[in-house]
Structure 1
Amino acid sequence: MTAATTTVRVPDGEMPARLWLPPSGTGPGIVLLQEIFGVSPYIRSRAADLAALGYVVLAPELYWRAEGSVDESSEAFLEQGMALAAQLDWDRTVADATASVEALRSLPEVAGGVGVLGFCFGGGVAFNVAAVTDVDVLVSYYGSALPQLLHLAGSVSVPSLHHFGTADAYIPMETVEEIRAAVAGREVELHLHDGAGHAFDNPHPLFHHERASEDAWRLTADFLSRRLPV
């Protein structure tokens, strides 16, 4: 499934983005928010997966103001991603993602609600976006900023799905339980994936946990089918 290039209007310019349409041409919308590695081949693959489920998917290039790039074939790719992420201003990034929600909702191809789904860095951004603007669902995979955002939990009232690995060195289980307590509610689902580390859905051998990735995606597809039906 091929993505079209587009832009999202923000106060200081036009942010590049990629747009995927479902086979039907129309459907509910999902703003897909990147890991620290940008809108990588992995993120583009997941966008295509979401489009195949029937969603219009917009993936904004949140690094559009940053200098540098990530070469996933390099042994230094993790350091490259961290260096790019360090250049971002959090509030401005959340504002860019919020503008992406508004832009997606305005498209004629979007019929129904609009949700946010993010991985790692993007999982935290998605949570923050759900706290400050109108979205219909939230899906966060091991949101790395969540421990610093729990003061916003009371402002996130939409149906939400969170995934964490039990062997995550960045978000240990003690912290996951703090997150669980903060976000708990009838509209919230939180799933633990045994033996999975951080970024377990990323196919890179450094991160990937096949069973956790498959289980989490199945749960995500089921959640979206119930909470943001096509």
Structure 2
Amino acid sequence: MNLLIYGASGMVGQGVLLECLRAEDVESVTVVVRAAISQNHPKLRQLITADLSVEMNSRDYDACFFCLGVSAAGMTEEQYSKLTFDLTLNIAAKLAQSNPRMTFVYVSGAGTDSSENGKIMWARVKGKTENALLAIGFHSALMYRPAIIRPMKGVRSKTASYRIFYQLMTPILPVLKLIFPRAILTTEEIGIAMLNAVRYGSPKKVLEKEDIFEQAHR
């Protein structure tokens, strides 16, 4: 597999990248980033650009794992939509035009509002983004909706408030994972689930946390 990743510097993206580099059936991984990441690997190529929606030839890629995202905290709906809906669709439209055969996996979130009419702003915008991606023309477009995520293998969030949360939850998350294995996903499981979606396909287009768990352990 030849893979393309957006958001490789974020917590989910870091975990997904690690699993992609570990997989024997992955030949190459290209990450599109604004600044170089510290990871080095023979399979890894970094495309560093200030404009993440830059035109690129995606014909040789089997899949795109879109892990790019921002918190809606402190943002207006217009600001959040610009970064979540506009940027994502701009990138996806170019990829779909160049290579509609690829699998496109979008990391959304639990609680996303597919109706686009709910009261929670971020959930509406995420729902609008999901709906547009499902209609954009990819051979396979999959929406991943994780909830609580346990970082593994040295993965850390870039967001200060999330880092504090994970520091406080470090003693608790492993226990909760044992009790509720399908409710709490690890970054490792999310990465493996994405790879399995390319390997085997997925019967569902929108995958909740339990579906992602099943995809990772198939």
- TM-score after normalising by structure 1: 0.42
Q: Whose RCO is larger (CA < 8 A, sep 6+)?
A: 2
- TM-score after normalising by structure 2: 0.43
Structure whose residues are more often strand by fraction:
1
